[in-house]
Amino acid sequence: MTTYLLQALGCLACTGGLGINEEAMRFHWRVFLACAWLLLLLVLIDRHVSPRSANAESEAKTPGNQSSVADWGVVVKRRSEMFSSGCKNKEHQGDTQVSLSKLVLDNIVVSDQHHILFCETPEASDTYWKKLLIVASGAFSSVKDIPENLVHDHKKNGLPRLSSLAPLEIMHRLNTYFKFIIVRDPFERLISTFEDKFLFNKPSEPWYKHTISHAIIHKYRTGFPFLDDTGLVFDEFVRYLGDVEQRSHMDWQFGEHIIHWATYVELCAPCDVGYDVIGHHETLERDATHILSRAGIGHLVSYPFVPAGIMRYNKTKVERYFSGVSKRDIRRLYERYQEDFHLFGYPTPDFLLN
């Protein structure tokens, strides 16, 4: 195709008689134009091919085989670099002298046996990861054998919370242990929370349906809020999450349950803690193996088979959920979760904001 273009362009230069000088000139012109075209083409191809977002990353790297652990190391490294530069902009990266909030210390669990710190992020298979760490400790031979009520009992499950330790012990672990976190697209995470806690609420967790839904509806639903028994709708949930002025009072009332929608920055203080590996829920089938191997427990436990792409970001679903939410509220919501998007490499959801 290029040669075709060149000949066409060359002909533009070939008017008039053809003396020796003109012949030479024409030749130079052709070479010059050829180079120019080639350059332009290369720039265009590069723009289309190079992956720029977390989505591109997960699509470009569909699961393969053996060489995958090493290949995936490159992806994880790129994520870490992006994360570090995001933290540098905030000017407090890697400074573990800063005091972490009680919320963060409560959220990080410790495996002293294997020198691992894991920050729990609800709605990104955190319970399963805790089960794996319990099995790795040798207390149970498989995930199935662990009684459900033990998984979250940090006084008994062998995975104390960082908050249960003394300041010097905390510092020592932060500075020497392997630290990891699993994140997912912030808006998709909120949809998952909404479905789990409010839409398909489990009878064992009645407070979401009653206390919390009730308080949010009371605040944001106009008219006669409790005229019918319509439960909390997504649009009201979003209003609460993005309401800078009213939210803190409500959060205080909701207590520890807010961990299901608090930002990753609030829950895990990523820049202060400086996690060694950031796993993405969307590519769990690749990340899980990588994390277990980096944590040094790959020979003790393995993540169960995850069908490739099953966790992938579902834009249709996100669009559907947000279709009933006003632009103003979506923008407020984005403002709150913006840092989570940027630090972990999730593309800004422009299709919702504009």
In the complex, the residues that contact ligand NAG under the rule CB under 6 A are: 64-65, 314, 316-317, 320
- Sign of the torsion angle spanned by Cα atoms 95, 98, 104, 110: positive
Is the Cβ of residue 264 or residue 303 nearer to ligand NAG in the bound state?
A: 303
Is the Cβ of residue 169 or residue 196 nearer to ligand NAG in the bound state?
A: 196
Is the Cβ of residue 66 or residue 354 nearer to ligand NAG in the bound state?
A: 66
Residues 6 or more apart in contact with residue 245 via CB below 8 angstroms: none
Query: Nearest distance from residue 290's CB to ligand NAG, in Å?
Result: 17
Query: Nearest distance from residue 284's CB to ligand NAG, in Å?
Result: 14
Collapsed DSSP state (helix, strand, coil) of residue 274 = coil
Collapsed DSSP state (helix, strand, coil) of residue 260 = helix
Crossing angle of the two packed helices 186-193 and 327-343, in degrees rounded to 10? 120
Query: Nearest distance from residue 313's CB to ligand NAG, in Å?
Result: 9
Please state, in angstroms and rounded to a whole number, the distance separating the CA atoms of residues 152 and 170.
20
Query: Nearest distance from residue 126's CB to ligand NAG, in Å?
Result: 21
Is the Cβ of residue 157 or residue 283 nearer to ligand NAG in the bound state?
A: 283
Crossing angle of the two packed helices 68-90 and 284-294, in degrees rounded to 10? 80
Please state, in angstroms and rounded to a whole number, the distance separating the CA atoms of residues 34 and 82.
37
Query: Nearest distance from residue 289's CB to ligand NAG, in Å?
Result: 14
Is the Cβ of residue 85 or residue 314 nearer to ligand NAG in the bound state?
A: 314
Please state, in angstroms and rounded to a whole number, the distance separating the CA atoms of residues 62 and 48.
18
Query: Nearest distance from residue 68's CB to ligand NAG, in Å?
Result: 9
Is the Cβ of residue 64 or residue 138 nearer to ligand NAG in the bound state?
A: 64
- Residue 319 tokens, joined: 């669009």
H-state helical runs in 50-166: 54-60, 68-90, 102-107, 126-136, 148-151
Query: Nearest distance from residue 318's CB to ligand NAG, in Å?
Result: 9
Residue 158 backbone zone (phi > 0: left; psi -120 to 50: alpha; other: beta): left
Is the Cβ of residue 20 or residue 310 nearer to ligand NAG in the bound state?
A: 310
